[in-house]
Every structure is written in C-alpha cells, then in structure tokens.
Structure 1
Amino acid sequence: MAKLYVFGIGGTGSRVIKSLVMLLATGVEINQYEVVPIIIDPDEANGDVTRTIDILKNYQNIHSKLSFTDADKNQFYKTKISNITQNFRLTLSDVKNDRFKDYIEYSGLDDNNKALINLLFSEENLNSDMEVGFKGNPNIGSVVLNQFRQSEDFLKFASSFNQDDRIFIISSIFGGTGAAGFPLLVKNIRGADHNLPTWKYLQDAPIGAITMLPYFGVAPDADSKIDKSTFISKTKAALSYYEENISGNNSVNALYYLGDDLTKDYPNVEGSVNQKNDAHFLEVVAALSIIDFAKTESSNLNNYEGKAENPIYKEYGIKSNSQSVIYENLGDLTQILLKKPLTQYTQFLLYLNNKIQDSSDQNWAKNLNITTLLTQPFYSNYLKKFNQYYLEWLNEMNYNQRGFSPLNLDVNDTNLFDMVKGVTPNIGWLESGGKNYNRYNYMLSKQDKTTSNNGSSEQQFMDLFYTTTEALVTEKYKF
C-alpha cells in the first residue's frame, strides 16, 4: 500500500492532523493511502501536540482490532495510520532547556562573528527559550530547523520512502515554527543526501502543501512576545519569500492557500501544556486539501530533477457566507464528501453515549454479548476515549469563529433525527419499531439479521453499527 506522509509543523500542523484523523474515523476516503503523520514542533509539552498524539494512538488501537475485507461492512476507521517515529514526532536535538544564544554557541564566537549575529538577531531573540517553540520568529526557526537533514528521524523517513509514496506539508505562515519549517523541509526533501538509496524518489516525490494564512488572533498581553498585529506583516514577508523559493521555483506540485478575515482571539499562550487552541472549521478545510491532494491523478504531479512540471495552486471558498457554517453553506463537492460520513458517525456516537448502557435486553445486543464487549479495552479504553475527543472537536468548532456546526448535538429521544441543521428528516406516520431511538433499535435488530457472525466481536459490533447508521442516514436524509 502506498503511503502519504503528512508533516504537521507547529501547533497548526498538529490541529490539522487532528481534523484529518477525525474525518478518516468517519470513513472519509483518502484514495487508499496509508497515512503516516510526522509532527515537527520543538515544544514537547504543547497541548495541541499532545492531544493530537493521543488521538492518533487511540485511532491506531481501534483500527488494529478491525479488518476491511470485501466481506466486512464497516468503513469507520478504515484508513491505516502508521508511525515511523516515536510518538509521531520528528525529534529536534539540543533545543530542550536551551536559549537560542546557547544553541548557536554565541559565547564561543570571536568578536567579528558576534557582531554579525547581533546584526541578524536581537537581544530578545538571542535569549529566547526554544523549548516552547519560536514564538513567531521564523529567523530563529530557520536556524534550528535546518538540522532536519541530519536527524535520525528524518533519515528513518527518507529510508522508508518508496516510489509511489507522496508527501504533504501543513504549516501556518504567520508564526515562527511553520513559516520557517515549510521551505526548509521542502529543501531538505528535494536535496536529500545522494548516499541515501531513496534520494531520487525524494527528489521527484509528489509534494503537496497547505500554508495557513491568519485565521485566528491572540488576546493582547504586554508580557507576551506574540502580537497579532504582526501577523499580516509576517504573512506578507513569508509570501514574498515563497514566491521566490517555493512557487517561484516549482518546488511543490500542489500548493493550497487558506485563511479567513473572520477571526476569534485565543488566549495568548506562548506554548507548553496550556497551548490548546479550539478546533476550527479552517482546519477541517485544510484536512480536505490533504484528501484532495491524495486523489489528484499522478499524471498531474510529475517532477523533473526536483521541479514540478505543472504546479497546481488552489484556494477554497464556501457557497454562501455565514458566521456558523452548516452543510448547505458548503460547495457541492464538499457536501458530497462530508455529509454522509459525518452524520453517520455522529449518529453512532450519540447511541453509544446515550443508549448503549441500556441496550442489553435488545436481541442484537444479546447476540453480540454487548455487556462483555463494553468492558473490553477496544470499547472502554480506545473507542470511548476517541469519541470524547470527537465530541470535543465538534463542540469546539461549533463555538469558534468562523463556526462549523452542521449537526445538532443536543437531540434526545423526542427529536433524534432533527440532528442535521437545515434538513427536515423524512419521518413516516407508522415507522416499524417506533420513533427516535426505538426506530434506531429496530434497525439495529433488522441489520443484525443480515450481518455476518464471522470475525471478532469488535468487528461484528462495528459492522452492525455502520450498516445501521448508513440505513438511517439514507432513510432520514437521503444522503
């Protein structure tokens, strides 16, 4: 199976990977690629990073218990996610507990070189603590991140890369880590050491990238080195640099641009465990750009000696403007991609959250021995924890700006199928089994009769809920 290596640089990179994993969990297709996330962030305790890593691990544990042969019905968690580095991270050496001046061994320089460094970096730059990232300073990030090529983790990636694999890079353009890391990573991939047996594959690898323009702000804080008033000027400077060194020299095959002028200020946190920004609609759109790249025909991604022959540039727009986006605000192709899997998986989650503990007397539940299954790690540890993250992800996007809230999560046993905003569900006068969760239970029992009893209990459980939610979504919404 061909692999798609997804590099997530900085906090934005981690959050986009999180949104990608959520989409894959719902069954969104990514052209049969095996996804290999690699997070690049010097801030080891970054809350966005640690949360994404935990989500990835839970996904892997769920996927490992399932099979996806032609006989299996379930499509949730179908895409394989693997890691070639510890905790999905590319380790940066010599940044922990280090100031930038110590990293560059400033004290050991002669007077002439110190004078040069003082021209290039301010005193504040030189005293920056690199353990929490580069705090919006790409000039620092470019020096530190240039160690990519010599790192053990980069060599692991390079050695595992095959001819049919692809690469996608996620970065923001208005901070420090992403703005510096993106061009350096491209340079090091295209110019891989010729002693590596895979160097030619890397030189001519199909590379896609998304560069996130400002889409959120940070609250004013006189004590913080992060100032949102500099975001636009940093973006302009980075775009000017990219024009020469990324798009200007055809370094990547597909470059996606994304930003928004409707923004919300997040707490001004410089890093570590407290940097845990809410999920955002644009991070879902960025994840969709990865899927779009994966589905792009190989003939449109050709390279010659490290240069894209026909580079592609894309932006994204919604069909109708809204501060809180629902399905009908999205373009037609996006609706086709998202409506069914997101709605279907959310129906699955709602049953598990609201009814599964009371379902033991149902025939389908007895056949599955549901009481035992709910005590197994597959459900009690991995699926339950993943679903907590999934619900958190939906709720955070709902209350963000620009918000994304296509689904009503407050439905209950009186209005279960009113969950899709802007869509009136098809409700019959005489529905077999009754309405709402009674109808859901009836459909579970009906599908249970057609679901194979082969495979593990986990597989049977997922097959049953996938076919049931698929039938309900088709029945109620015609998706």
Structure 2
Amino acid sequence: MMDKLFVIAVGGTGMRCLESFVHLCAIGMLDSREVEVLTLDTDQTNGNKGKVEELIRLYNRIKSSDSQEGGTPNADTFFSAKLNLYRFFTNYSGRGRENYKDLVKLSTGSPEQQRDNKLLSDLFLDHASVQEFSLAHGYRAQTHLGSMLIYHGIIEAARNILKGTNVLPQERELEHFISKLELAGESARVFVFGSVFGGTGASAIPVIPKALKDFVSVRSNGASSIDLSKTKFGATLLTEYFTFRKPDEKQKGSKEDSVIADASFFPLNSQAALQFYQSDTTVQRSYKLLYHIGWPVESRHADEGAGVGKTITGGAEQKNACHITELIAACAAYDFFIRQYMPDGQKAEYLYKSAPFRNDTFSFTAEDLFGNQERSAEIFANRLGAMFSLAHISLTANGGAWGDLGIKAFLNLLHKQRLTQYASITDAECADLNDYFKLFAYTYDKDHFVRGWLYQVRNSIAPGNFIFNSKAFADNRTELDRLDVGSVFSDERHHWPKSLISSRYNTFVNKLIDSGPAEQLQKVNTTKEKFLAHLYNALSASQGFKLN
C-alpha cells in the first residue's frame, strides 16, 4: 500500500517551491498519486501565494470532468497527479488582532498579571517596534515571534472548531487537511516547503509537526492525536538564494515598516537557523529527512526590474521570479515521496546534492536534479522536454502566445488530417491548456515578452546550461517563428526524426496520427485525458528516450 502524500507550503518562498512542484506534477512526475496541498501564510494577500493557488485551480480545471471536479489520477501522461488544495492563513485583521501587543492582550488582567506579561514580552521582543508592527505582511525576520504566533494561529483554529461557533472558512480548510492527515496515520508522508532565512517559513518549519499534532488533540478534546514518531515529515532547509534592495531610512522610519526584513542579514539568519535545527530536539525528532539547499554564489536581486521605489517583502506586489533552487526543492519533495528507505531513528538525516560550477556559473543536467533513482532523471528529462515542445507547439506554432488560438488551432489542424476523435473538446478546455502553457513557458503582453516558469528557472542560472539548448529559450517573435520545436534538447539524440521531404514538426504530426492513447494503462477516461495521453505518447516516442 502506497503512502498518502501531503505538501505544506509556508511563506513567499514556500509558495514558489510549490509552484515548481505543481509543474513537476503537470509534466507527469507523480503518476497515479493524489496529493493534499496546504498553503499556510500570515499574509492572505501575498502575491506568490495568490499566484500558486491560481495555478493549482487552473491545473484542476484541466483535469476536471463533468463527473469529477479536479479529475482522477492518471499514469504516464501529462497532469497525472490529482491535487487537492487547502488554504489557511492566520487572521490578523479586525480590532485587537493587528499586532502582537493587541493579540495577546497585554493590557488585560490584574495589575500584577499585566506587569508580569509586559516583563516577559519585553525580555524577548522589542517593545517599541516588534510588539507593535502590523502582522498582516508576515513576521519580518522575527522568527522567535513568528513561531509562537503560527502555533497560536493553528491552535486557535482548533479551539474555534471545537466550540463550533464563528468558524472561519480558512479554519475549515485547515481542519479538512489535518483530518486527512490524521486518517492516513502511519502511511502519511508530509513535506514542508519553506526558507530558513526569512520570516514565515523559518518560523513555521520548527513548529509545524507539533502544531498539527496539538490541533488534533485540541479539536478532539483530548480524544485523538498524531504520533509524530510514525508520521514521516520532511522539509527543505532553503538558505538565502536571493536578495532585494535595502530599505532606505524613509521607509524604515514609517510606522508601517518600522520593522522590515533586511536582506543583508540573510546569510547570518541562515547560519543561525541551521545551528538551531541541528541542536533542537523537537526538530530532530519530528523530521525524518531535511534537505539542505542553498545558492553558494552571489544572490540575484528578487526585485530587479520591478520598477518600485521601496523594498517589497509582502502583499500583492510580492511576485518574485522563479529560481532553480525552488525547482531543486520540488525535486527534494519528489525524492521524499518516492524513496523506499526512511530513517527510523530519533534524529533527522540531512541530504544535499551538488552541480558543476565552471566559468563562474552553474550548469544543470537532469541527473544533477534527480540522480538516477528508479531512472527518475531520464523520466524527468523526457517529460519536461515533451511539455516544453508541446508548449512551443501551442504558443508559437499555433499562435497561442499572441491570442486565444493555441491548442484550439492545433486541434483544427489534426481535424483536417482526419484525426477527429477530439472534436468534442471545448473552446474553454483549449483555453485552459493554452493558459497553462503560458504560465509554464512564456506569453506576450502586447509586444512585451513575458517569461513563464521554465524560462525564469533557466534565466536564474544564465548563461549556464539547463538541459535544453539556448535556442529553445528564444524570447523574441522572429526567433520563436524560426524555432524547430523538435530540437529543444542540447543532446541531439533526443531531437525528433525528420525525413527528406518533411520537417520534424510534420513528421511528429504524422506520428500522432498513427498512434493513440493506451486507455487502460494510462488510466484515462475522458476525451480530454485521452488527447493529453495521445500527445504524451507521440512526443515521448519522438524524443527517443530509452525508458523501459
């Protein structure tokens, strides 16, 4: 019996790691699996959070059918995993909840209690700033405060549910997620995405297992609990890999930003966090595997080209570009979910990988990301290449990057070639697929080229190499029009075949006409699922990977 899979993404960095994980699911890396996904943040308006939640909703629209919202798991095809999304954010809106001082009610109780509470709070938290800054945009690198308040928010939700009155929608979603975790018991694998150098993620990783355990106990009034010694937890220990402009004195002098994260302290924050995780017995006993991921060269500016005059560390404007380290974090989750060996001792094990660094830049192959466990690297390269080529087919060969054609135009082409079994796929379903490819690869905003996830990942290591040749990442209309969609790989062995009288693209279309989906093996039932499986089979056959 396979373990049940759970993902928790915490804070802005955790959301971007989840974005990469969703794209791994879209290319087909988690065949036949169902994943429960929880987004957890203090900042309900965070741009990265909103972006990945919309990505999952789009993913689920693509998989949905008339009879099953979010679809069912498939095998050896695109969008093969089923994703169930739950959202929880701590509530810091409303009178008496805006800051620490009000939230913990320092001014209530007897004079002696107020005095003792103030002395204790002042011992750990600066009175003039930390106790009074707005919590709405996260914990601003105040992880000691953040850990306490994240735990408080989760337990507060459990108490509200137990009372059964004024339960907020996000508290219900948290309950549904934890109920599935409780039901899975020993067969649960929980992977936490978050950074250790900032605010929310660094605050949450140490306390999440205990908070989930205590939520179950509080909600059940002590009748139930989670055995942390048996539930398998893993996490990223993602150290600093980006920076942003230093806040100026004017911004730091404002009441809103009197406490604000300063990227110059990220390396120090990372070192302190790693020392803490190594020595803290709760962390060591709660987690089975900790994946240490970092960026050992100069960090890229997350707000480069943003056109804003102040430091952005939260809110709707926080939409940082994707980075290779986030894909590595997603690969760590994949490794955690498929690996057979799992430590059973009382101390977490640390894992890390490395990649070649030459001429002051990194280059990445599929083996650098996945190793060769169960031929994962070859499977990843094949499926990423298939999705990348399909994105180019939709966006450039059929005009999807400049309008609403894309997959619809490709279906019309197949119809003319007498491949008519997919005529019932609706315009809305085609538009959803085309929109996904735009987020995955690229699109145009009028005449402005907009990089999607894969382009952003590759750009984070440019001019280093990333599996595909540089021409595959063309970023202007002329180069895209000239692009041979069957030659995206650096390794020519995986270029599509062509004949003396036919291009690679036309040869692929002919292969598509002569092939079809394996409905039972690929677990596909709807017309849309059969179409995606059909495409996947023809693309994989064209790329020539030896996967069997």
TM alignment of 1:363-378, pairs within 5 A: 363=415, 366-368=418-420, 373=425, 375=427, 377-378=428-429
Distance 1:246 1:208, change over 3 A: farther
Task: State the match for 1:395 in structure 2.
Answer: 455
Asked if structure 1 preserves the Cα contact closer than 8 Å seen for 2:206 and 2:283, the reply is: no
**2:137 counterpart of 1:132:** yes
Deviation at 1:447, TM superposition (A): 1.7
Alpha-carbon distance, 1:173 to partner: 0.6
Which has the higher relative contact order, 1 or 2, with Cα contacts under 8 A spaced 6 or more apart?
Answer: 1
Matches of 1:75 and 1:328 in 2, distance apart? 19
1-side partners of 2:37 and 2:144: how far apart?
26
Residue in 2 that maps onto 1:49? 49
The reply on whether 1:346 has 2:363 as its aligned counterpart is no
* Deviation sequence 1:431-469 (CA, Å, 0-9, x none): 5x61132222212212259989x9533133212211111
Question: Residue 434 of structure 2 aligns to which amino acid in structure 1?
Answer: K
With over 3 angstroms needed to count, the CA separation of the structure-2 counterparts of 1:365 and 1:58, relative to structure 1, is farther
1:107 aligns to what SS in structure 2?
coil
Distance of aligned partners of 1:393 and 1:91 in 2 relative to their CA distance in 1, 3 Å threshold: same
* Residue in 1 that maps onto 2:534: 464
Give the CA deviation at 1:336. Answer: 2.5
- 1:113 equivalent in alignment to 2:122: no
In the alignment, the residues of structure 2 paired with residue 365 and residue 130 of structure 1 have an alpha-carbon distance, to the nearest angstrom, of: 59
TM-score by length of structure 1 reads: 0.86
- What residue in structure 1 maps to residue 353 of structure 2? 316
Matched, 1:256 2:308: no
Amino acid at match of 1:336: E
- Say yes or no: does 1:7 pair with 2:8: yes
CA–CA separation in structure 2 for the residues paired with 1:428 and 1:111: 79
Following superposition, the deviation at residue 209 of structure 1 comes to: 1.2
Q: In the superposition, relative to structure 1, how do residues 426 and 180 fare at CA in structure 2: closer, same or farther (>3 Å)?
A: closer
Question: Cα distance 1:363–1:33, how it changes in 2: closer, same or farther (>3 A)?
Answer: closer
Q: How big is each residue's C-alpha offset from its partner over 1:351-406, in whole Å with a ceiling of 9 and x where there is no partner? A: 1222342652545764336666351x3222x2222222111101211222477743
CA change 1:440–1:409 in 2 (3 A) is: farther
Paired letter, 2:289: A
Q: Using a 3 Å threshold, how does the CA distance of structure 1 residues 313 and 371 change in structure 2: closer, same or farther?
A: same
Number of residue pairs matched by the alignment: 460
Quote the sequence identity (%): 19
Equivalent residue for 2:235? 209
Distance 1:429 1:457, change over 3 A: closer
Task: Name 1:295's counterpart in structure 2.
Answer: 338
Is this contact kept in 1: 2:17–2:326, CA < 8 A?
A: yes
Structure 2 residue corresponding to 1:442, chosen from 510, 529, 532: 510
Structure 2 distance, partners of 1:82, 1:219, is 36
Match of 1:174 among 169, 174, 197: 197
Aligned to 1:227: 262
Which residue number corresponds to residue 327 of structure 1? 365
Task: Note if 1:379 corresponds to 2:430.
Answer: yes
Alignment partner, residue 280 of structure 2: 245
User: In 2, are the aligned partners of 1:368 and 1:460 still within 8 Å (CA)?
Assistant: no
Shift of residue 221 of structure 1? Answer: 2.2
C-alpha distance after superposition, 1:402-429 (max 9, x if no partner):
7774331335456333311354655767
- What secondary structure sits across from 2:23 in the alignment? helix
> What displacement does 1:240 show?
2.3
CA distance in 2, matches of 1:450, 1:253: 38
Spell out, residue by residue over 1:276-298, the C-alpha distance to the aligned partner (whole angstroms, 9 max, x if none): 1111101111011111111122x
Please name the residue that 1:305 is paired with.
none
The offset of 1:339, in angstroms, is: 0.8
Deviations 1:201-220 (A, max 9, x none): 55520111111111111122
SS of corresponding position for 2:291: strand
Q: Relative to 1, partners in 2 of residues 1:166 and 1:365: Cα closer, same or farther, differing over 3 Å?
A: farther
1:409 is aligned to 2:502: no
Q: Mind listing any 5+ residue stretches in structure 1 that lack a counterpart?
A: 303-307
Say whether the 8 Å CA contact 1:206–1:301 is kept in structure 2.
no
Is the 8 Å Cα contact of residues 159 and 198 (structure 1) preserved in structure 2? Answer: no
SS of equivalent to 2:292: strand
- The alignment yields a C-alpha RMSD, in angstroms, of 3.1
CA contact (8 A) 1:413 1:437 kept: no
Q: Does 1:17 align with 2:28?
A: no
Q: 1:276-334, CA deviations, whole angstroms, 9 ceiling, x for partnerless residues?
A: 1111101111011111111122x6344xxxxx446432012114557353427826436
The residue type paired with residue 378 of structure 2 is: I
Paired position in structure 1 for 2:445:
none
1:87-102 to structure 2, matched below 5 A, reads 88-95=86-93, 98-102=98-102
Closer, same or farther in 2 for the Cα pair 1:365/1:244, shift >3 Å?
Answer: farther
Cα distance, 1:149 vs structure 2: 2.9
| Residue 91 of structure 1: how far off its partner (Å) | 3.1
CA contact (8 A) 2:495 2:542 kept: no
The aligned amino acid for 2:98 is D
- CA shift for structure 1 position 16: 0.7
